[in-house]
Amino acid sequence: MDTSFVWDDGFVTGLDVVDVQHRALVDLFNELSHALFSPSSGGEALLADVYGRLLAYTAYHFREEEELMGRCGLDARHIEGHRLLHQQFEEQVRMLWMQRASMADAGTTLVDFLTSWLGLHILGIDQSMARQIASVQAGLSAAEAFEREREAHDNGIQALLKMISKLYSALSVQNAQLAAANQHLEERVAQRTHELEEANERLRTLSRTDALLGIANRAHFNEWLEQTCALARRARRPVGLVMIDVDCFKRYNDHYGHQQGDACLQAVARAVAGCVRRGTDLVARYGGEELAVVLPETDAAGAQAMAGRMVQAVRALGMPHADSLAGPSVSISAGVCSQVPLPAAGGASGSAALIARADAALYEAKHQGRNRCVAAEAVGAVL
């Protein structure tokens, strides 16, 4: 493809070192243009490399020019204005590079800006700098050279260059403000997105949590057990399940009132949950005064030991239950089952069979007098 900046003698300043550096900048501009528009240019890594070299060489060239103006003793008004243009250019290039992902035609915008700026800069203030240096070397003072430069050249061209320079400066400021506003907007969007994600996570947590007991609800229990059984069946690993019932809870409610009954259930749930240590275990409210505990990768002995600890933990609360048939304090009965989930009709996970066997063991615990745990009898794939 054609280069983006075609050098000709009209851009020569007569200062050899400056002209050499300008030619090097033009080569880098054209290299960046090729990397931006060539389909086989090497992608983002090559772009970043060319852009980095361009920015580094630009900073080097600007330092060299500013040191040259200082050595030659040019008027401070020219040096300050020249330095400001250098600074604006570096800021503008960085801004355009950072914002290119959001531009409709970033390559054209960036290349047009680079080539237009350099052409204007050379034809305007760089050639003015060269003429002032020549005037100072010929014997004029810096101030005389500066004033002479303002008066001696074609007023129409000077006015045109000045207006273009002002337009560039105004556009640079506007673009910088737009970039800052865009950055602020992106930060606000990111913040709002984060807040929305947190709110959604809170909603998901609430939808899976029993409001009274602060543990998993029945829906979450069903989903968790299904997933656990499906994974265990494929891996041929056991799943333990403990079904728990608060002994004589209706009598407790009738004797102490529903408010105290809620407090009782909360205390029992905390005691049961306190026995669980693994993140994969789940304590849930199964319904009313019933709890259920899912214990992945747990054999029959491990599940029964866990259920025994839960019975002891509730017993240790020492909460009086004057109307209980199981003892003087609040207690629980627990039914325990552990097995590799068996395939069920329709490809189901086998969770229903696990629940049925744990529930049967719970019924037996109540039949034996409550305040105890009973394990389901070993059948089929029970471990």
Predicted confidence (pLDDT) per residue in 314-367, tens digit? 999 999 999 999 999 999 999 999 999 987 655 455 799 999 999 999 999 999
Residue 323, domain member (yes or no): yes
Is residue 45 domain-shared with residue 170, that is, in the same domain?
A: yes
∠312-318-321 over CA atoms, to 5°?
110
Q: Give the length of the chain.
A: 383
Strand order in the sheet with 373-375: 282-287, 290-296, 239-246, 332-339, 373-375
Residue whose C-alpha is closest to residue 224's, from 236, 213, 215: 215
Q: Write the CA distances from 24 to 118, 195, 224, integer angstroms.
A: 12, 49, 66
Same domain membership, residue 159 and residue 17? yes
DSSP string, 176-195: HHHHHHHHHHHHHHHHHHHH
Q: Say how many CA atoms lie within 13 Å of 285 toward its Cβ.
A: 19
Q: Could you tell me if residue 311 is inside a domain?
A: yes
Look at the chain and report how many structural domains it folds into.
2
**162 lies in the same domain as 63:** yes
Would 301 be classed as within a structural domain? Answer: yes
Per DSSP bridges, beta strands 239-246 and 332-339 are antiparallel
pLDDT in tens, the chain (383 residues): 455 788 888 889 999 999 999 999 989 888 888 888 876 656 778 888 888 998 999 999 999 999 999 999 999 999 998 999 899 888 888 887 877 776 667 777 777 778 888 888 888 889 889 999 999 999 999 999 998 887 766 555 555 555 565 556 555 655 666 666 666 777 888 888 888 888 887 777 778 899 999 999 999 999 999 999 999 999 999 999 999 999 999 999 999 999 999 999 999 999 999 999 899 999 999 999 999 999 999 999 999 999 999 999 999 999 999 999 999 999 999 999 999 998 765 545 579 999 999 999 999 999 999 999 999 974 333 33
Alpha-carbon span 267 to 297, nearest angstrom: 27
Angstrom CA distances, 254 to 3, 264, 322, 378, stand at 92, 13, 11, 38
CATH number of the CATH domain containing 170: 1.20.120.50
Say yes or no: 27 and 154 in one domain.
Answer: yes
DSSP 378: P
pLDDT tens, position by position, 130-152: 999 999 999 999 999 998 887 76
CA–CA separation, 243 and 283 (whole Å): 10
380: helix, strand or coil: coil
| pTM tops 0.85, yes or no | no
- The C-alpha atoms of residue 13 and residue 129 are separated, in whole angstroms, by 9
Residue 113 confidence (pLDDT): 79
Structure tokens at 6: 């075609």
| 335 residue type, one letter | G
- CA nearest to 289, candidates 321, 256, 243: 243
The span from the CA of 250 to the CA of 252, in Å, is 5
Whether 137 and 264 map to the same domain: the answer is: no
| Domain assignment present for 383 | no
Same domain? 188 vs 225:
no
Consecutive H or E run containing 223: helix 218-235
In a domain, 182, yes or no: yes
CA angle 352, 353, 354 (to 5 degrees): 90
* Domain of residue 135, residue span: 9-192
- For residues 250 and 324, what is the distance between their CA atoms, to the nearest angstrom? 10
Which residues have a Cβ under 8 Å from the Cβ of 335 and sit 6 or more positions away? 242, 243, 358, 359, 360, 361, 362, 363, 364, 365, 373, 374, 375, 376
